[in-house]
Amino acid sequence: MFLFLVVALAVVVAAVTLAVVGGGEGGGPLPEAAPERLQDLLPLDRPINRVDIEALRFPLAARGYRMSDVDDALSRLGAELAERDARIADLESALAGAQASAGHVSMEKHAPEDH
């Protein structure tokens, strides 16, 4: 009985090995699967918006997410956030300057004139 189990195990191991290595009519080993890549890329022709971020899905890799896909997305987001922060700072500075000059002009109009 023990000998039968050993022979059966050897036959199963041999069959699995032949199937994986390509001992059948396939003519070679199993084809390698293409690595899963990021499908929904962030748009390059316009700024990123909230919907783009919510729709962003990273494919799973052996130990989590593919690091290069995540790094690319984070770099792009960081660059766009820095650009928006600079634009906001410029607009706030321009608004403060416009308010200051409007207040200065308003003060000159209301100042009492000496005759």
Distance set, CA 45 to CA 41, 42, 48, 83 (Å): 11, 9, 9, 15
Tens digit of pLDDT for each residue in 9-41?
999 998 888 777 765 555 556 566 666 666 667
Tens digit of pLDDT for each residue in 39-51?
667 788 888 888 8
What CA–CA distance (Å, rounded) separates 32 from 37?
A: 15
| Cα–Cα–Cα angle for 60, 62, 63, rounded to 5 degrees | 90
The backbone region for 94, taken as left when phi is positive above 0, alpha when psi lies in -120 to 50, beta otherwise, is alpha
Tens digit of pLDDT for each residue in 70-99?
888 888 898 899 999 999 999 999 999 999
Strand-pair category, 60-61 with 64-65: antiparallel
pLDDT reported for residue 26: 55
pLDDT at 115 over 70: no
